[in-house]
């Protein structure tokens, strides 16, 4: 067919040749550690390319070598993932943390400065503040709502502005759904770039991607995912991904080969299956979230709702960012119950359909208490500054019927009285 198809139409077939697998409609699990070379010359050529000893020729396909380096389930998965973000290349990992830490280790060197938005995912926060300093890598943070000039001042105040190597952001911020300007963050990176040093921008797009937000289009150099969340979408696998230009992903894949933190063939296969329904699932999740937010917005036992759909033209700066980079209002909602931890816990303990668990983006709706669970490691003063208080509950909206989700939330709210 001579037309450019949408990614959701390509998720069942792209990059897979049935004739290479006995005609199987579905890509099998290539549960093998190593691959047979047709000749010694082939083996030599495959290694030359895989280890970067020479560039791949135009007409040359990278041959299969060994499953730490490449495997059909991973390669087909990587090719399919590039379609959503319109990225040149992708590398998949055994976890979101593996993708994030590999990127940080590949692009930061001792003496470098890393600028991050705050808060970031707890695991990323720990790695940046507790592990990277052991390698002489420093960090500085900025918060939602700070202006271009304020952020530049934060970097200058470190006295290490000339060593800034990367800006790393997460938007929407978890769990408050505050937005960080991707294009604006790229402007910061540009401000500190010089003729000999390009400051890169990496975006953790787990909360919105890969359907609802495409950071590469707004200037990001790398986009990162915990594929455990929406991409996997069934709470049955831990995985991660990193996307960007061919040149950058070649470097990321290079370090992945030596850290050995690639995804397994089985993980790759599970994610291939998940990708077939990604668009359908996320469409329903976004629609359900809108219904749930409408319900919470008018509920007398709810004090405040944190939802992208609630950002209106009156919030001038945030609204402009939302219009620019968010394709929907997402599937995540946080809210403050009237009361405190006691009422929040009563709510969580009374839920029947919605499961009390961390993680997000899956088919089933989940609820958790950020202040004592996902964000317990965040400094209490910073938590308060960010409104992550005892009364906050975070919801990840699934694909159940929205009336059933709302009925469950309704009865659990009554239990807080
Ligand atoms: C879950 C998550 C991660 C970590 O991913 P894992 O797959 O658990 O390693 C990173 N960033 C965000 C925003 C997440 O939600």
Domains of the chain, start order: 67-275 (3.40.640.10), 278-414 (3.90.1150.10)
Instruction: Name the strand (E) or helix (H) holding 263.
Output: none
What is the spatial distance between Cα 156 and Cα 192, in angstroms, rounded to a whole number? 10
| pLDDT of the residue at 62 | 83
| pLDDT of the residue at 271 | 98
Q: What is the DSSP letter of 220?
A: -
Q: What is the DSSP letter of 396?
A: E
| pLDDT of the residue at 387 | 92
Helix axes 341-350, 402-414, angle to 10 degrees: 130
Both tokens assigned to 28: 């099998």
Evaluate whether 198 touches 178 at the Cβ level (below 8 Å). no
Q: Look at 35-44, 175-184, 342-351, 373-382 and tell me which has the smallest mean pLDDT.
A: 373-382
Our mutation pick for probing the ligand 1 site, out of 93, 97, 227, 231, counting the most ligand atoms within 8 A of Cβ, is 97
pLDDT of 42 higher than 90 = yes
State the pLDDT confidence band at 160, using cuts at 50, 70 and 90.
very high
What is the spatial distance between Cα 246 and Cα 239, in angstroms, rounded to a whole number? 21
Ligand 1 centroid from CA 159, angstroms? 31
Evaluate whether 378 touches 265 at the Cβ level (below 8 Å). no
Ligand 1 centroid from CA 361, angstroms? 11
Q: Which residue's C-alpha comes closest to atom 8 of ligand 1?
A: 96
Q: Which residue's C-alpha comes closest to atom 11 of ligand 1?
A: 121
Evaluate whether 179 touches 318 at the Cβ level (below 8 Å). yes
What is the phi/psi pair of residue 340, to 5°? -145, -145
Q: Look at 58-72, 261-275, 298-312, 338-352 and tell me which has the smallest mean pLDDT.
A: 58-72
Mean pLDDT of the chain: 96
Ligand 1 centroid from CA 120, angstroms? 10
Ligand 1 centroid from CA 226, angstroms? 4
Residue-wise pLDDT tens digits, 380-403: 898 998 899 999 999 999 999 999
What is the phi/psi pair of residue 116, to 5°? -125, 155
pLDDT of 106 higher than 90 = yes
| pLDDT of the residue at 379 | 85
Ligand 1 centroid from CA 306, angstroms? 20
Dihedral (Cα; 82, 85, 91, 96), 10-degree rounding: -140
Hunting for tokens 């709502």 — which residue is that?
145
Q: Would you give the end-to-end CA distance of the chain in angstroms?
A: 60
Our mutation pick for probing the ligand 1 site, out of 206, 213, 360, 374, counting the most ligand atoms within 8 A of Cβ, is 206
Residue-wise pLDDT tens digits, 242-295: 999 999 999 999 999 999 999 999 999 999 999 999 999 999 999 999 999 999
Evaluate whether 331 touches 396 at the Cβ level (below 8 Å). yes
pLDDT of 299 higher than 90 = yes
What is the spatial distance between Cα 184 and Cα 181, in angstroms, rounded to a whole number? 5
What is the spatial distance between Cα 42 and Cα 90, in angstroms, rounded to a whole number? 24
Neighbours of 110 (CB within 10 A): 9
Ligand 1 centroid from CA 228, angstroms? 7
Residue 2 CB partners (closer than 8 Å, separation 6+): none
Q: Which residue's C-alpha comes closest to atom 6 of ligand 1?
A: 96
Hunting for tokens 């139409």 — which residue is that?
9
Our mutation pick for probing the ligand 1 site, out of 98, 102, 123, 207, counting the most ligand atoms within 8 A of Cβ, is 123
Evaluate whether 289 touches 333 at the Cβ level (below 8 Å). yes
pLDDT of 56 higher than 90 = no
What is the spatial distance between Cα 30 and Cα 267, in angstroms, rounded to a whole number? 11
> What Å distances lie between residue 410 and 231, 354, 413, CA to CA?
29, 12, 5
Buried-exposed string 343-361: b where 16+ CB fall within 10 A, e elsewhere: bbbbbbebbebbbeeebbb
- Give the mean model confidence (pLDDT) for residues 109-114: 98
What is the spatial distance between Cα 169 and Cα 165, in angstroms, rounded to a whole number? 14
What is the phi/psi pair of residue 336, to 5°? -100, 125
CA angle 204, 206, 343 (to 5 degrees): 115
| pLDDT of the residue at 109 | 98
| pLDDT of the residue at 97 | 98
| pLDDT of the residue at 192 | 98
Ligand 1 atom at minimum distance from 240 CA: 7
Q: Which residue's C-alpha comes closest to atom 4 of ligand 1?
A: 96
| pLDDT of the residue at 209 | 85
Evaluate whether 265 touches 73 at the Cβ level (below 8 Å). yes
pLDDT of 1 higher than 80 = no
Residue-wise pLDDT tens digits, 189-246: 999 999 999 999 999 999 998 999 999 999 999 999 999 999 999 999 999 999 999 9
Instruction: Name the strand (E) or helix (H) holding 78.
Output: helix 72-85
Instruction: Name the strand (E) or helix (H) holding 57.
Output: none
Evaluate whether 185 touches 167 at the Cβ level (below 8 Å). yes
| pLDDT of the residue at 253 | 96
- CB within 6 Å of ligand 1 — which residues? 95-97, 121, 123-124, 170, 174, 204, 206-207, 226, 228-229, 238, 240
């Amino acid at each position: 067919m001579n037309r450019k198809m949408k990614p959701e139409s390509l998720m069942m077939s792209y990059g897979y040749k049935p004739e290479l697998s006995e005609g199987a409609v579905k890509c099998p699990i290539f549960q093998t550690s190593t691959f047979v070379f047709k000749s010694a010359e082939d083996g030599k050529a495959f290694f030359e390319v895989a280890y970067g000893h020479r560039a791949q020729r135009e007409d040359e396909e990278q041959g299969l070598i060994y499953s730490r380096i490449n495997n059909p389930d991973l390669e087909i998965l990587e090719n399919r993932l590039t379609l959503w973000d319109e990225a040149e290349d992708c590398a998949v990992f055994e976890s979101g943390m593996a993708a994030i830490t590999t990127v940080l280790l590949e692009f930061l060197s001792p003496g470098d400065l890393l600028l991050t938005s705050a808060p970031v995912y707890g695991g990323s926060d720990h790695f940046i503040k507790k592990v990277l300093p052991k390698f002489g890598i420093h960090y500085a943070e900025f918060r939602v709502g700070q202006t271009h000039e304020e952020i530049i001042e934060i970097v200058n105040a470190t006295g290490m502005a000339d060593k800034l190597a990367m800006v790393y952001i997460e938007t929407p911020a978890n769990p408050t759904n505050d937005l960080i300007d991707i294009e604006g963050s790229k402007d910061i990176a540009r401000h500190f770039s010089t003729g000999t040093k390009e400051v890169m921008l990496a975006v953790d797009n787990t909360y919105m991607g890969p359907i609802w937000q495409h950071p590469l289009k707004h200037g990001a150099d790398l986009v990162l995912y915990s594929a455990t969340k929406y991409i996997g979408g069934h709470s049955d696998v831990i995985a991660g991904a990193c996307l960007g230009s061919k040149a950058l992903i070649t470097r990321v894949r290079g370090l992945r080969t030596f850290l050995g933190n690639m995804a397994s063939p089985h993980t790759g296969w599970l994610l291939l299956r998940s990708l077939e329904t990604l668009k359908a699932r996320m469409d329903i999740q976004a629609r359900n979230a809108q219904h749930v937010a409408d319900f919470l917005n008018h509920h007398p036992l709810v004090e405040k709702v944190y939802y992208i759909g609630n950002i209106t033209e009156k919030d001038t700066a945030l609204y402009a960012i939302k219009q620019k980079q968010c394709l929907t209002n997402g599937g995540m909602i946080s809210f403050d119950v009237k009361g405190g931890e006691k009422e929040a816990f009563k709510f969580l303990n009374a839920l029947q359909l919605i499961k009390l668990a961390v993680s997000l983006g899956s088919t089933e709706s989940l609820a958790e208490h950020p202040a004592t669970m996902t964000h317990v490691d965040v400094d209490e003063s910073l938590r308060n500054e960010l409104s992550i208080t005892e009364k906050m509950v975070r919801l990840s909206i699934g694909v159940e019927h929205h009336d059933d989700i709302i009925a469950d939330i309704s009865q659990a709210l009554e239990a807080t009285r």
